[in-house]
Chain A
Amino acid sequence: MTDDVKINAPRRLSEPPFVRRLLITVALAFIVLFLVVPLVSVFTEALRQGLGYYFQTLRDPATVNAILVTLIAAGISVPLNCVFGVAAAWTIAKFDFPGKNILLTLIDLPFSISPVISGMIYVLVFGAQGWFGPWLMEHDIRIIWAVPGIVLATMFVTFPFVARELIPLMQAQGRTEEEAARVLGANGWQTFWRVTLPNIKWGLLYGVILCNARAMGEFGAVSVVSGHISGKAGALGTNTIPLHVQILYEANDLTGAFAVASLLTFLALVTLVLKTWVEYKNIGLRGTAFTPVPVGKRPH
């Protein structure tokens, strides 16, 4: 990403040293104030009442239950969106058909919708007063205020993540390698497993990392469909980790809330490290799932 020519530019193409120092100071001050201080404070607040209380909160059945619900939601939504991402990227990158730009925009849609609305639309379809509400009630199937609703809301908010990572990547790779495989006698699946998949594996991993971070951290959409039923030992509740943070915070257990929040913060840091590592391996990847510049139209 850095260009040595620009960094070691001759004087007339660079700024005076005091301007450089001033700009670096301003940038660092902004980053420290808005990113580093909050990051440090999460862990400080979490350990305020000592390690004993910290681990006691994390071992609490309600916390363990919330972790379980989060793992279920991410465990279902990430693989499904992964399969969708590969299918969508294959059809968009390898074939020409009318309406492709509309399809690209529709795939991006969940990015531009408020999390609260993302959860609400499922209440309108599956809730007690929704389209399928009466039918679901007759058959004793619970979707809203139950785990399936949480899974659906998570699927919606993470819907574009893998697709928008893979589409530009596969568009850039073109279809000549796959065509060669076909001419040499490979069938469709062989072409996909032996040629396409090795080519897109980093992009796929990248999309999965970002998708998983959002799936485990989503709050607004999940909050609407959850119903906030606390889990007990033996009975799965409807609180994910972020929802459990809210419950502890609102019960004035600040240290407990931050202890659980520190798990999510740790996940965020691991995500950033993995993301940076994949980018280091692949200069072309830029994390457009985090910065949703429209697919296929971003600057190269």
Chain B
Amino acid sequence: MAKKQNNVLPGFRLTLGYTLVYLGLIVIIPLAATFVKSSELSWAEFSHTVFSPQALAAYRLSFGASFLAAAVNAVFGLIVAWVLVRYNFYGKRVVDALVDLPFALPTAVAGITLATLYAPNGWIGAWLAPLGIKVSYTRLGIFVALTFIGLPFIVRTVQPVLADLDPEIEEAAASLGANRWQAFCRVIFPMLSPALLTGFALAFARALGEYGSVVFISSNIPMKTQIVPLLIMSELDGFQYAKATALAVVMLVISFLLLLAINLLQWWNNRHNATSLA
């Protein structure tokens, strides 16, 4: 604060003012409109919408599928990050760049591609069909789509932390008699766990809100294969704005809580790194 009076740089009022006005117009006012709109509903109407059997089934599916997808990504993402940081192999740079594909590829493209691949006559679906496994248009398909879009989060949060790990710590573990597995479980994994949890939370939050890739691979049947964003969309398509708004408010509150949790995790992550590297 004391530095402000000494600051010779201009443009504080201009840039802060512009930032706040733009933020207000594009983000804050429209978001506030959602909460105002939902307050027009009575509590009975609100709870009737957000606790309807169809909504409860959608929450269960959204949370379950997102959690499973993030968990699978936590395991394989950690292995991919480990291999990219620690080992050399042919094509490593291409793999490293490809990890971001789910971010760069529009979700609609991912959706139609996965739906076609995992359909009973698709490249992958044809292998699974004789085993009696159906993926496209089932809950398993939703899980596959959410796994695809969550893939980069764990890799990209764990990778920098793993690369910055001080080799001396592992050296110390080795010289104290730990084998590689013990060193990994007792030393490396605990140091990676805040980053791993952050990546998990980011992948989970992203999966909860995902729409584009799921809409194509899910059959969107209420109570069975309808996640919350699809339920909101179907209310909007039927011009049920009050119902859609009520469901959106529930999702927004959940997103804000997740954002808070991610910020706390990140704070823990930094403190963890600061103390362990000091």
Chain A CB within 8 A of B10 CB: yes
Q: Is the interface of B mostly helix, strand, loop or mixed?
A: helix
Asked if A35 meets B98 with Cβ closer than 8 Å, knowing A27-B80, A213-B104, the reply is yes
Q: How far is the CA of A188 from the CA of B83 in the complex (A)?
A: 48
A137 close to chain B: CB less than 8 A: no
| 8 Å CB contact of B152 from A2, A33, A290, A297 | A290
Find the residue from A33, A35, A84, A105 having the highest chain B CB count within 10 A.
A35
25 A-B residue contacts at CB 8 Å?
A: A2-B92, A14-B180, A30-B79, A41-B116, A45-B113, A84-B19, A95-B7, A103-B23, A106-B28, A113-B252, A116-B232, A122-B30, A182-B8, A182-B9, A183-B8, A187-B10, A219-B211, A268-B106, A275-B100, A276-B97, A286-B160, A291-B152, A293-B157, A293-B262, A294-B266
Partner of B26, one of A14, A159, A175: A159
Is the C-beta of A110 less than 8 angstroms from some C-beta in chain B? yes
For B38, give the chain A residue with the smallest CB separation: A124
Stretch in B45-53, B130-138, B164-172, B218-226 touching the partner = B164-172
Q: Across the interface, name the chain A residue whose C-beta is closest to B162.
A: A6
Q: Is B241 in contact with A129, judged by CB distance below 8 angstroms?
A: yes
CA distance A59 to B99 in the complex (A): 32
Please list the residues of chain A having a beta carbon within 8 angstroms of any beta carbon in chain B: 1-3, 5-7, 9, 12-16, 19-20, 23-24, 26-28, 30-31, 33-39, 41-42, 45, 80, 84, 87-88, 90-92, 94-98, 103, 105-110, 112-117, 120-125, 127, 129-131, 152, 155-156, 159, 175, 178-179, 182-183, 187-188, 191-192, 213, 216-220, 223-224, 241-243, 245-246, 249, 254, 257-258, 261, 264-265, 268-269, 271-273, 275-276, 286-287, 290-294, 297-300
Docked-complex contact B30 and A95, CB < 8 angstroms: no
- Binary flags per residue of B75-88, CB closer than 8 Å to A gives 1, else 0: 01001101111111
CB of A24 within 8 A of CB of B105, answer: no
- Output the least CB separation between B77 and chain A (Å): 9
Q: Is B152 touching A217 in the complex (CB atoms < 8 A)?
A: no
Is B238 close to A, CB under 8 A? no
Contact residues in B for A113 (Cβ distance below 8 Å): 31, 209, 252, 255
B side interface size, CB within 8 A: 110
Pairwise interchain contact B109-A156, C-beta atoms closer than 8 A: no
The answer, yes or no, to whether B101 is at the interface (CB within 8 Å) is yes
Q: Are B4 and A96 in contact (CB under 8 A)?
A: yes
A33 to B117, CA, bound (A): 11
Q: Which chain A residue lies CB-closest to B151? A: A34
Q: Please state if B9 and A220 are interface contacts (CB–CB under 8 Å).
A: no
Interface of A is mostly: helix
In the complex, what distance in Å separates the CA atom of A92 from the CA atom of B23?
A: 14
A80 to chain B, nearest CB (A): 8
Q: Do A188 and B99 touch across chains, with their CB atoms under 8 A apart?
A: no
Q: Which residues of B contact A115 (CB under 8 A)?
A: 107, 209-212, 229
* B33 and A264 within 8 A (CB): no
A42 with B109: CB separation less than 8 A: yes
Q: Quick one: closest B residue to A1, CB to CB?
A: B163
Q: Contacts of A6 on B, CB cut-off 8 Å?
A: 85-86, 163, 167
B97 touches A272 (CB 8 A): yes
> When A41-B116, A88-B15, A120-B34 are in contact, do A96 and B3 touch as well, CB less than 8 Å?
yes
